[in-house]
Amino acid sequence: MKFCELVRKAIEDEMDKDETVICYGLGVTDPKGVFGTTKDLHKKFGNKRVFDMPTSENGMTGIGVGAAIMGLKVIMTHQRVDFFLLAMDQVVNSAAKMHYMYGNQLNCPIVIRLIIGRGWGQGPTHSQSLQAWFAHIPGLKVVMPTFAEDAYTLLREAIQDPNPVIYLEHRWLHETNESSVKGNISIGKARICREGKHCTIVSNSYLTLESIKAASYLSERHGIECEIIDLATVKPIDEKTILESVKKTRRICVLDTGFEICGLASEIISMVCINNEIELIDKPIKGSMKDIPEPTSYGLTKNTYLDAADISRKLLKMFKETIVENELMKLKPTRHDIPGDSFKGPF
């Protein structure tokens, strides 16, 4: 099953099992059903539990918080993280704080699904990956699955979590059906999706797929074995898995879909660097979005997004290997702004 279908199935299965679960958001009941992730759920569960909403992000988040503290489990969806910015007050000052601030008397089981993405001229206000914003706030959990099966497992768990969970889905993953590798996944647990002894790559969301491509190339052509940790939960962060891996490899490359300043990559690198038991052989590599609003133009976004070629190049430099440009070119997508040729925009 595809990622988008498994997101839908997670919601469906939880709604089946638990009648306190409700689900709403712009476009949830429309014919497209938020890229297929909520398609026809209202037909099965009725419009009391599954409904579209007014274009009122802040109010509807607060309303979700109110319903959640009354014992409903709320799943709210937004088609872009950027639209959710109107609701920062409610998520930061209400949802995240309530349990602590009111002395553990109430809790807020709300899952906020936010879609992030890249490409097709999404431009400055439709393309941001703001996981670091949410991770910055005490009281929030932040999940961003890469593999379709993990999307399912983690969403089900998020719905049952008694705390607010921000669940970030990359638009370019919706149509994928990458199955996860061995081992159980749960919130708070990072996934080692490739083992290796030379360098640890910590990456998230769509970038993990690019890392896997890069790692195969590096292994085949240069004998460099990367260990890839997919950071499916950004918060609470799985320090143990990351540190243990770096203790072994003594090299780290962190890749994040978000902006570089005060971002997730910086956070992880500092975590590694201040650890007394780790002595790195090489300087850490940081790969995130430059401190620039994302331009819209196809011409300006060519080097905006990291891909397998960029990742390989960074690692080859680290290992002082010869860079064979025409081999790297083969790792690039035909067009940098679409996940595949079937994609014709506009989304």
Give the shortest CB-303-to-other proteins separation in angstroms.
7
Binding partner of residue 99 among ligand TPP, other proteins, none, CB cut-off 5 to 8 Å per kind: none
Q: Can you read off the two tokens belonging to residue 143?
A: 């999940």
- Pick one of 14, 57, 210, 238: the residue that binds ligand TPP (CB under 6 A): 57
**Binding span for other proteins by CB under 8 A among 53-61, 153-161, 164-172, 190-198:** 53-61
Helix (H) or strand (E) holding 272: helix 264-273
Site membership for other proteins, residue 319 (CB under 8 A): no
**Binding span for other proteins by CB under 8 A among 55-63, 145-153, 187-195, 235-243:** 55-63
Nearer to other proteins, 28 or 318 (CB): 28
Site membership for other proteins, residue 108 (CB under 8 A): no
Nearer to ligand TPP, 34 or 154 (CB): 34
Residue window 262-301: x/- pattern of binding to other proteins, with contact defined by CB under 8 A = ----------------------------xxxx-xxxxxx-
Q: How far is CA 115 from the centre of its chain?
A: 9
Site membership for other proteins, residue 76 (CB under 8 A): no
Nearer to other proteins, 116 or 218 (CB): 116
Can you list the pairs that 270-276 forms with residues at least 24 positions away whose Cβ atoms lie under 8 Å? 271/237, 271/239, 271/242, 271/243, 272/242, 272/243, 272/246, 275/243, 275/246
In the chain, the amino acid numbered 67 is: A
Q: Is the peptide bond before 339 cis (omega within 30 degrees of 0)?
A: no
The HSE-up count of residue 325 (CA atoms within 13 Å, CB side) is 0
Site membership for other proteins, residue 186 (CB under 8 A): no
Site membership for other proteins, residue 83 (CB under 8 A): yes
CB contact at 8 A, 305 and 118:
yes
Site membership for ligand TPP, residue 54 (CB under 6 A): no
CB contact at 8 A, 285 and 196:
no
Helix (H) or strand (E) holding 14: helix 3-17
Site membership for ligand TPP, residue 26 (CB under 6 A): yes
Site membership for other proteins, residue 125 (CB under 8 A): yes
Site membership for ligand TPP, residue 347 (CB under 6 A): no
Euclidean distance between CA atoms 290 and 194, whole angstroms: 27
CB contact at 8 A, 134 and 124:
no
Give the shortest CB-129-to-ligand TPP separation in angstroms.
17
Give the shortest CB-37-to-other proteins separation in angstroms.
15
Euclidean distance between CA atoms 245 and 118, whole angstroms: 29
Can you list the pairs that 39-46 forms with residues at least 24 positions away whose Cβ atoms lie under 8 Å? 39/8, 41/8, 41/11, 41/12, 41/15, 44/12, 44/15, 45/15
- Pick one of 9, 13, 51, 213: the residue that binds other proteins (CB under 8 A): 51
Q: Which residues bind other proteins (CB under 8 A)?
A: 26-27, 29-32, 51-59, 82-83, 85-86, 120-126, 290-293, 295-300, 302-304, 337, 344-347
Positions touching ligand TPP (CB under 6 A) are 26, 55, 57, 79, 83, 86
